[in-house]
């Protein structure tokens, strides 16, 4: 009795069973971890250009449902690592902090899952997926940045390029969401290129079945091939049965060819290449064209219009950073009093600095945590500090709206201590400045009201404050994470952008650096200098190219003085940002609809082929999936199907 020996042509991951599940899970976790490493704190930005590739290769030949599950694991890993600072941010709630961390990570991971589910779902679009899938990623980022509860614009892919990344200048033309689409396109191109590299060149099309249901044979007696259930045909390319002709494709091959693959993990790359038309010159075009296309992105950054030129003399700004490490409960109030006193003291010291006075002194968000407009003593201290510095002061304060509500505001005081203008924060942090559905959530989880006993009220207007004749666009805290806020302020006349924040709740973790990355991206998008004034750090001066010229450390009590150059013109993104984002949304929706239509047409044609032209019963899904596992099912003419793709069977 002869024995069969299976030898793999290409090493392939396991197809089924616990080993396959473990392999897929490991790839998903690796992808999520690599993506997290591209952001601060590891901050290996170029890694983002390849971080998605491992999971893209795996899900290419899986079903959308499985691809979505693996994407969820990758997203959960990414956000779980990226958002570890949440536990510090909500440390006063005890165990609820970890519950919030897990819930937020899982919610954001759903959007990553949706993207990876679309990878196999849009397979019928062929090369158009290089346009559709990046647009889908950008659209999902747009969605999660605004929904639910005002959204969570954190961990956006473009932020991986914040520190002079190779693709960062493109944000001046297409914005952060467009830049994210470019990064995803690079990942997709790399994944497609790798699949094509390891694939056997596509063979000729399979001959039509003969009247008895077997495939016609060629001159050498070998059976024709056709794609099977998991990318392998009834007799797949690269599979030979020594001493006998290969079996014909029959009914199984006919249905698989008409309806596309019933994917597995490894799949047969040659069959996949044939289905995608990657034979001959098309294969060569992929192998040569995709690297050229990706490499062209590097010089493309030179073609992006330069940032608007500076206009007018520099604005002399002083950032005062007097924060302390906060406590919990009553200690937090004591720290707030000390923080205010530190800002007054450091500002009064400016009188000892030689040279002319500054044009503006800035205290970050929450430097005056008790309303200076409702306290004569505190207002007098602000006036004394402004007089000593001989400069107006823009300070962040918590103000009282009424007996039940507070507000976070930027208050501009003249050199004489009079209130000249104010800006109220418009985008409030859920569970940080208000409790959503407070009546219900507050009773369900009482800890949420311990840190937020009173809800804050959002502002309504966003327009620049005028300082020494220069429009200054003020953004408070995480408003800098919303691209449209900086865009609107710039269009309305802001020549310098100012981010006032209090990052004490981030602790020593990477949250402060992640926040700073958002300000760097805003600087490039708008072509403006950005000053970030943080009560506890990191404070920084950022040029229109995204580079940091001055910065402070965390919890460092100091002042930072810089001449900030105002700019007048608008970048392409500032002028057309809304149209660019609408275009990404349109491409994504059109691509998904087209993919769904092609899937429906393919299913209909397969059904008609089964009903009208085949002998014997239609092969079930289990029969299709059984190809390559154990004994293959018989073909329509009674012959046995061949072994899985990528293997060789020899008589011995």
Tens of pLDDT along 523-546?
Answer: 999 999 999 999 988 999 999 999
- At residue 171, the pLDDT reads 94
103-112, 280-289, 294-303, 501-510: segment of lowest average pLDDT: 280-289
Q: Would you give the end-to-end CA distance of the chain in angstroms?
A: 9
Give the whole-angstrom CA distance, residue 286 versus residue 264.
23
Locate 67 and state its tokens.
């691809």
- At residue 605, the pLDDT reads 85
Mean of pLDDT values over 188-204: 73
Structure confidence at residue 279 as a pLDDT band (50, 70, 90): low
Mean of pLDDT values over 216-224: 39
Q: Read off φ and ψ for residue 178, nearest 5 degrees.
A: -65, -40
Mean of pLDDT values over 106-116: 96
409 to 40, 225, 312, 364, 398: CA distances (angstroms): 29, 71, 28, 10, 6
Q: Is the pLDDT of residue 138 over 60?
A: yes
Structure confidence at residue 262 as a pLDDT band (50, 70, 90): very low
- At residue 626, the pLDDT reads 52
Structure confidence at residue 2 as a pLDDT band (50, 70, 90): very low
Structure confidence at residue 296 as a pLDDT band (50, 70, 90): low
CA-closest candidate to residue 316, choices 546, 541, 499? 541
Give the whole-angstrom CA distance, residue 388 versus residue 347.
8
Structure confidence at residue 647 as a pLDDT band (50, 70, 90): very low
For residue 82, the tally of other CB atoms under 10 A from its CB is 24
Q: Is the pLDDT of residue 232 over 50?
A: no
Q: Is the pLDDT of residue 563 over 80?
A: yes
Q: Read off φ and ψ for residue 614, nearest 5 degrees.
A: -110, 145
8-state DSSP, 260: -
230 to 23, 103, 461, 643: CA distances (angstroms): 17, 36, 57, 12
Between strands 406-413 and 419-424, the pairing is antiparallel
Give the whole-angstrom CA distance, residue 98 versus residue 110.
19
Highest-confidence segment of 242-251, 493-502, 628-637:
493-502
Mean of pLDDT values over 562-579: 94
- At residue 497, the pLDDT reads 97
Give the whole-angstrom CA distance, residue 476 versus residue 274.
55
Collapsing DSSP to helix, strand or coil, 332 comes out as helix
8-state DSSP, 209: B
Q: Is the pLDDT of residue 215 over 90?
A: no
**Ranges of H-type helices in 38-63:** 53-59
- At residue 405, the pLDDT reads 87
Percent of the chain with pLDDT over 70: 73
Helix (H) / strand (E) containing 606: helix 572-613
Percent of the chain with pLDDT over 90: 49
CATH number assigned to the domain covering 315-426+462-570: 3.60.110.10
- At residue 567, the pLDDT reads 94
Q: Is the pLDDT of residue 636 over 60?
A: no
6-10, 66-70, 332-336, 577-581: segment of lowest average pLDDT: 6-10
Distance of CA 99 to the CA centre of its chain: 23
Check whether the bond before 221 is cis (ω within 30° of 0).
Answer: no
Tens of pLDDT along 583-634?
Answer: 999 999 999 999 999 988 888 888 888 777 655 555 555 555 554 444 455 5
- At residue 72, the pLDDT reads 98
CA-closest candidate to residue 543, choices 592, 594, 497? 497
Tens of pLDDT along 395-415?
Answer: 999 999 888 889 999 999 999
Locate 268 and state its tokens.
């047969």
- At residue 233, the pLDDT reads 39
Q: Is the Cβ–Cβ distance between 90 and 451 less than 8 Å?
A: yes
Structure confidence at residue 503 as a pLDDT band (50, 70, 90): confident
Tell me the torsion sign for CA atoms 252, 257, 259, 264: positive
Locate 204 and state its tokens.
């000729």
Structure confidence at residue 289 as a pLDDT band (50, 70, 90): low
Mean of pLDDT values over 566-575: 94
The position carrying tokens 């506890």 is 536
Tell me the torsion sign for CA atoms 584, 587, 590, 592: negative
Mean of pLDDT values over 161-190: 92
Tens of pLDDT along 343-388?
Answer: 999 999 998 888 899 999 999 998 988 888 988 899 999 999 999 9
Bigger pLDDT: 93 vs 615? 93
Bigger pLDDT: 223 vs 137? 137
Q: Is the Cβ–Cβ distance between 466 and 566 less than 8 Å?
A: no
CA-closest candidate to residue 535, choices 458, 454, 477, 483? 477
Tens of pLDDT along 426-443?
Answer: 999 888 788 887 767 777
What integer best gives the mean pLDDT of the chain? 79
Locate 364 and state its tokens.
């970050």
8-state DSSP, 528: -
Structure confidence at residue 488 as a pLDDT band (50, 70, 90): very high
Collapsing DSSP to helix, strand or coil, 509 comes out as coil
Between strands 393-400 and 647-651, the pairing is unpaired
């Amino acid at each position: 009795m002869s024995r069969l020996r299976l030898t793999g042509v290409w090493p392939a991951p396991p197809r089924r069973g616990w080993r396959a599940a473990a392999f897929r899970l490991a790839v998903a976790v690796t992808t999520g971890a690599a993506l997290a490493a591209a952001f601060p704190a590891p901050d290996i930005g170029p890694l983002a250009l390849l971080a998605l590739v491992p999971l893209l290769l795996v899900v290419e030949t899986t079903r959308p449902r499985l691809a979505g599950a693996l994407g969820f694991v990758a997203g959960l890993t990414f956000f779980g690592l990226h958002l570890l600072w949440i536990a510090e941010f909500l440390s006063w709630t005890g165990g609820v902090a970890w519950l919030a961390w897990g819930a937020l990570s899982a919610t954001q991971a759903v959007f990553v899952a949706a993207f990876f589910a679309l990878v196999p779902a849009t397979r019928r679009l062929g090369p158009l997926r290089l346009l559709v899938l990046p647009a889908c990623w950008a659209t999902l980022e747009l969605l999660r940045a605004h929904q639910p509860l005002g959204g969570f614009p954190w961990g956006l892919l473009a932020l991986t390029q914040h520190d002079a990344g190779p693709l960062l200048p493109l944000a001046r033309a297409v914005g952060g969401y467009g830049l994210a689409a470019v990064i995803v396109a690079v990942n997709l191109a790399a994944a497609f290129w790798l699949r094509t590299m390891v694939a056997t060149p596509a063979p000729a099309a399979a001959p039509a079945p003969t009247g008895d249901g077997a495939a016609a044979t060629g001159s050498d007696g070998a059976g024709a091939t056709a794609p099977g259930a998991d990318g392998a045909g009834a007799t797949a390319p690269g599979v030979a049965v020594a001493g006998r002709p290969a079996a014909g494709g029959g009914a199984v091959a006919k249905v698989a060819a008409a309806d596309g693959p019933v994917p597995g993990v490894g799949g047969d790359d040659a069959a996949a290449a044939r289905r995608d038309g990657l034979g001959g010159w098309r294969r060569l075009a992929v192998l040569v064209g995709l690297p050229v296309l990706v490499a062209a992105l590097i010089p493309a950054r030179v073609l992006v219009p330069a940032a608007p030129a500076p206009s007018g003399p520099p604005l002399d700004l002083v950032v005062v950073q007097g924060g302390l490490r906060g406590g919990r409960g009553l200690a937090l109030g004591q720290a707030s009093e000390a923080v205010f006193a530190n800002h007054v003291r450091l500002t009064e010291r400016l009188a000892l600095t030689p040279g002319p006075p500054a044009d503006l002194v800035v205290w970050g968000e929450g430097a005056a945590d008790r309303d200076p407009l409702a306290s004569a003593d505190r207002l007098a201290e602000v006036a004394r500090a402004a007089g000593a510095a001989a400069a107006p002061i823009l300070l962040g304060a918590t103000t009282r709206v009424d007996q039940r509500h507070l507000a976070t505001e930027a208050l501009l005081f003249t050199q004489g201590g009079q209130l000249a203008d104010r800006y109220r924060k418009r985008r409030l942090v859920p569970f940080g400045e208000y409790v959503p559905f407070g009546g219900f959530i507050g009773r369900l989880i009482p800890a949420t009201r311990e840190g937020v006993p009173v809800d804050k009220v959002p502002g309504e207007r966003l327009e620049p404050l005028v300082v020494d004749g220069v429009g200054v666009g003020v953004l408070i805290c995480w408003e800098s994470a919303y691209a449209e806020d900086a865009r609107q302020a710039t269009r309305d006349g802001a020549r310098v952008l100012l981010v006032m924040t209090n990052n004490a709740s981030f602790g020593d973790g990477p949250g402060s650096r992640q926040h700073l990355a958002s300000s760097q991206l805003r600087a490039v998008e708008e072509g403006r200098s950005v000053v970030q004034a943080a009560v506890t750090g990191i404070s920084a001066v950022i040029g229109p190219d995204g580079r940091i010229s001055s910065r402070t450390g965390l919890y460092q009590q100091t002042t930072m003085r810089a001449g900030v150059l105002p700019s007048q013109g608008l970048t392409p993104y500032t002028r057309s940002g809304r149209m660019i984002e609408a275009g990404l949304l349109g491409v994504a929706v059109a691509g998904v609809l087209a993919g769904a239509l092609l899937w429906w047409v393919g299913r209909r044609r397969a059904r008609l082929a089964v009903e009208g032209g085949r002998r014997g019963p239609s092969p079930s899904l289990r029969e299709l999936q059984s190809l390559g596992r154990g004994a293959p099912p018989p073909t329509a003419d009674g012959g046995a199907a061949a072994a899985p793709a990528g293997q060789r069977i020899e008589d011995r």
